[in-house]
Amino acid sequence: MTLEENLRIDLAAAFRLIHELNMHESVANHLSAAVSTDGKQFLMNRRWMHFSNVTASNLQLLNSDDATVMDSDQAPDTSAWTIHGNLHRALPEAKVILHLHSTYATALSTLKDPRILPIDNNTARFYERIAYDTHFGGIATSNAEGQRIVATLAGKKALMMGNHGVTVIGETVAEAFESLYYLEKACKTMVLAYATGQELNVMPHELALKTAVSWDEFSGAAFAHFDQLKANLDRKDPSYRA
């Protein structure tokens, strides 16, 4: 099996898993993965394709340098092209890009201060490792907005998009999915902690930094988690592989 074939299967699995976790939104939101070393050729879900219907074979192969696709009957969603096209064009290290409007991350993104504060292990995972965009420019349908989002990511592997949602990047689908999974858990913790109305017990800087770095020792867990979730999919509905 080729690298692209394996990537198609993993990305299709991510769509199905995000649907199972109820982190999808209608036929919106997009996941993509680069198939070329420069990142410019990438796979992405087709326009208005529900996550539960994505398969390895129906993922669309795009080239971020070829905008003529937007004038064809195969045009992807405009906002998806704006965000993913610009990110893949500018950041070859962003092999996998997951953009969602998941419930708790989006709720946190609407606050005046959308920061994920280090109040437990999961929230500390993102301490000084996530960028924050508090200059929402509306639905991302312009190239300028896409370029602004690229600049705001600023070398981080996750972006809290104010009044919008979240974007995470990773070297592999498994690693990006794991970041997304923990990001939503961290945001849920933040929202629930705020809901108590009590003062948050925020870790001091050194402890938060130490906790964030400690997560690097568990990087292999991302692959174990994703492989077992794929195995569950295979038992229930392996059609994502088609």
Q: What pLDDT, on a 0 to 100 scale, did the predictor assign at position 221? A: 97
pLDDT one-digit tens code per residue, 80-124: 999 999 999 999 999 999 999 999 999 999 999 999 999 999 999
- 90 in Cβ contact with 8 (< 8 Å): no
Strand order in the sheet with 41-44: 60-63, 41-44, 30-34, 96-100, 165-170, 158-161, 131-133
The pLDDT-based confidence of 136 (bands split at 50, 70, 90) is confident
Query: In the beta sheet, which residues pair with residue 34?
Result: 42
The pLDDT-based confidence of 144 (bands split at 50, 70, 90) is confident
The pLDDT-based confidence of 145 (bands split at 50, 70, 90) is confident
Closest CA to 9 of 27, 37, 35: 35
pLDDT one-digit tens code per residue, 37-70: 999 999 999 999 999 999 999 999 999 999 999 9
Task: State the Cα angle at 83 between 174 and 51, rounded to 5°.
Answer: 50
The pLDDT-based confidence of 154 (bands split at 50, 70, 90) is confident
Q: What are the residues whose beta carbons fall under 8 Å from the beta carbon of 173, sequence distance 6 or more? A: 7, 10, 11, 13, 14, 33, 96, 226
pLDDT one-digit tens code per residue, 102-112: 999 999 999 99
The pLDDT-based confidence of 143 (bands split at 50, 70, 90) is confident
Q: What are the residues whose beta carbons fall under 8 Å from the beta carbon of 235, sequence distance 6 or more? A: none
Task: State the Cα angle at 73 between 238 and 96, rounded to 5°.
Answer: 45
Summary mean pLDDT of the chain: 96
pLDDT one-digit tens code per residue, 170-209: 999 999 999 999 999 999 999 999 999 999 999 999 999 9
Q: What pLDDT, on a 0 to 100 scale, did the predictor assign at position 241? A: 98
Query: Rg of the chain's alpha carbons, rounded to an integer?
Result: 17
